[in-house]
Structure 1
């Protein structure tokens, strides 16, 4: 249920309208929408390693994990998650397929005691199966504490194919590491058909220009229902 989409690190010397705020590489979405009339594209590739038991394991990859964000008004954006391609186990040619198309929107809701509050609503539309459309809702909070940023979210998704409701949450701490370099540490937890998945996650961003950022991230699963290890690389660009 977790997606590599996240809170990013602001460029403090820039005005708020010029800051590049991305929804990757951590799982926690930012509480900030793309500025009006700007388009932001965020994409990457990721991998995961899963212990299948009896000394066996699976290595999966996916990409390009492309998210297109369009600023429609102050504090409001439209979101289009393009289908990618996922190989659940590279040793099995039949264990692969396209990921879902996602349509949604993000809206800033309020500012409460220095915390920015926002929400995302989204529907996932399968492109290579007869599975049903699944709705998703996320409530996000975020704030800056000097050079440090904090973020958290709670999400709920109804999988109409299995008629299950899955819930999850994250918390992230962002810190500056050097000029134009940010790092984060994050914990994430959620329900799955196999039980509770708990993840420890970290990574870094490199701002190459006010409108271009690279990222790298990785982490470990802390419960049996989570992947044993995961990670990825990505970029974000704003037009």
Structure 2
């Protein structure tokens, strides 16, 4: 009996990959969070790897897996969990310092504030709590918060813009963040975006960056992505690749 239930679950689990009617909408690879939640009882995995270097290549970091888990408790509210593994090497006058381990965990929620069938505008709000669980050199040692207001507009067919304005308090330092992503659907499966983003910190510090990337829709439930970013007024470069996968009615399937 247990074996039969297991077989049924596996069949439904993999069948769901091709039966979900709506296309997956993700919060990666850009910095702008989408205005869409995953939907009631849907479970979404967004994960990838990042190669980043700063300060004239003296600081080289690898992040991976960098994972966001999303679960819809209703059609307009989702729970969120963020986990990231980091390996960094710092070159200091011929001596290298390296460390690796998991960064602080993040727990959060996204709430869709505005979604109307006859409107081209959608609005959502998300908030994360940063919990100091990381290893030495990889933790803020204090609770932190990340808050963002997300707005999106459909400009014309296959062209949309999304932007975020946010407030972060990390390591007891506050900053105002921004991002503006222009997304273009090049075909039924390929998407492109370009995006300036940055932050205003304490003491009037300002950081400005630019990134761009492509997405490839394998099917309605699974998407691949690649992106590249560079600092405009700071020495930073990164290259990232990843995937996103939505599992419809995740807990309902597991009740079998």
Deviation at 1:143, TM superposition (A): 1.9
Are the aligned partners of 1:213 and 1:235 in contact in 2 as well (CA < 8 Å)? Answer: yes
Q: Using the TM superposition, give the Cα deviation of residue 118 of structure 1 relative to its aligned residue in structure 2, in angstroms.
A: 0.4
**Residue 45 (structure 2) aligns with:** 41
Match of residue 117 from structure 1: 123
CA gap 1:94/1:59 in 2 versus in 1, 3 angstroms: closer
Give 1:75 deviation, angstroms: 1.2
Distance 1:168 1:212, change over 3 A: same
CA distance in 2, matches of 1:132, 1:216: 32
The 1-side partners of 2:102 and 2:202 are apart by 21
Deviation sequence 1:45-86 (CA, Å, 0-9, x none): 00112125xxx622211111111100111111010112x221
Q: Cα offset for 1:134?
A: 0.4
Q: Is the 8 A contact 1:187 1:198 kept in 2?
A: yes
Whole-angstrom CA distance in 2 between matches of 1:86 and 1:27: 18
What is the Cα-based RMSD across aligned positions, in Å? 2.1
Higher normalized helix content (fraction of residues): 2
Matched, 1:134 2:135: no
Which residue of structure 2 lines up, in the alignment, with residue 235 of structure 1? 243
Distance 2:239 2:103 in 1: 18
- What SS is found at the alignment partner of 1:95? strand
Q: Secondary structure at the match of 2:66?
A: coil
1:22 counterpart residue number: 26
Residue 185 of structure 1: aligned partner: 194
- 1:213 Cα offset (Å): 0.4
**Are the equivalent residues in 2 in contact too, given 1:61–1:90 (CA < 8 A)?**
no
> Does structure 2 conserve the Cα–Cα contact (< 8 Å) formed by 1:42 and 1:235?
yes
Looking at structure 2, the residues matched to 75 and 49 of structure 1 have their Cα atoms a distance apart, in angstroms, of: 37
2-side partners of 1:88 and 1:191: how far apart?
25
Label 1:218 to 1:130 Cα distance change in 2 as closer, same or farther (>3 A).
closer
Moved more, 107-116 or 31-40: 107-116
* CA distance in structure 2 between the aligned counterparts of 1:94 and 1:237, rounded to whole angstroms: 33
Q: 1:191 to 1:47 in 2, by over 3 A?
A: farther
Q: Matched residue of 1:18: which SS?
A: coil
Specify the SS of the correspondent of 1:62: strand
Query: How far apart, CA to CA, are the structure 1 residues paired with 2:40 and 2:21?
Result: 9
Number of the residue aligned with 2:14: none
Higher CA-based Rg: 2
The Cα shift of 1:106 comes to 0.3
**More displaced 10-residue stretch of structure 1: 188-197 or 214-223:** 188-197
Distance 1:62 1:193 in 2: 26
Which portions of structure 1, spanning 4 or more consecutive aligned residues, are displaced by more than 6 angstroms? none
Q: Aligned residue for 1:31?
A: 35
Structure 1 unpaired stretches of 5+: 1-15
Paired residues, what number? 216
Contact 1:17 1:35 in 2 (8 A): no
Give the C-alpha shift of residue 17 in structure 1.
6.6
